[in-house]
Amino acid sequence: MFALLLALAMAGQSAALAATTILTTSAPPVAVCAGCHGDRGAGSEAVGAPRLAGMNADYLAHTLSMFKDGTRASVVMKPMAQSLSDDDMHALATYFSAQHPPLAQTQHAPSADMISAGKRLAESGGENGVPSCFSCHGPSGQGNGARYPAIAGQPKAFSIARIHEFQARARAAPPKPGSMTEVASRMDDAQLEASAAYFSVTNP
């Protein structure tokens, strides 16, 4: 009888612990992101959504917080981020940083010449004082801590749109020397297209 009562008590404790775990542990709300970025964060060429997979978790969480408070402007991302709690943002950042899906599908692959031009720019820099992409974003563009995001594997449409944002910012006010805004202001259309093409086919 004692053994039976002990077993029942232990079962009750296990059930209570399981219930507590369910109540206090929630999966990241991936569905909020999956519509544009894919359920594993590969990104999308069709909608210009960036790759989230494999990126630094602190960078991702900080970016979501900037969208939420409006310090980084986006008519698409602001309402999405405002629906997330701080815990949600950190859970999503942790989830996507651990994902490694294939590169996003592209309908029109860039030419070999354009990829080669982009590789040269990434490795050595180019005209107009444009520095090597790797000098800030790390070897092969795989990112450098929480400050410099991974750019390898980013869909071409996203990279072009993002550099255009930096260029618009540079036209609005003098950019800080050495910033991405200042770098983008030096890039011409050919450099922009080539670098975006190269990174779109470069595995992170």
Tell me: the pLDDT tens digits for 150-187?
Answer: 999 999 999 999 999 999 999 999 999 999 999 999 99
Q: Which of 185, 184, 107, 197 is nearest to 151 (CA)?
A: 197
- What is each CA distance from 83 to 32, 172, 204, in whole angstroms? 9, 30, 29
13, pLDDT greater than 60: no
Using an 8 Å Cβ cutoff, are 201 and 110 in contact?
Answer: yes
- What is each CA distance from 157 to 67, 120, 163, in whole angstroms? 20, 20, 10
Per-residue pLDDT band for 193 (boundaries 50, 70, 90) equals very high
| Distance from the Cα of residue 36 to its chain's centroid | 12
Tell me: the pLDDT tens digits for 84-137?
Answer: 999 999 999 999 999 999 999 988 899 999 999 999 999 999 999 999 999 999
72, pLDDT greater than 50: yes
Q: What is the mean pLDDT of the chain?
A: 89
**Mean predicted confidence (pLDDT) in 69-97:** 96
pLDDT, position 12: 44
5, pLDDT greater than 70: no
Q: Which of 199, 167, 172 is nearest to 186 (CA)?
A: 167
pLDDT, position 195: 98
Backbone angles phi, psi at 130, to 5 degrees: -75, 120
- Which domains are seen in the chain, by residue range? 31-97 (1.10.760.10), 112-198 (1.10.760.10)
pLDDT, position 181: 98
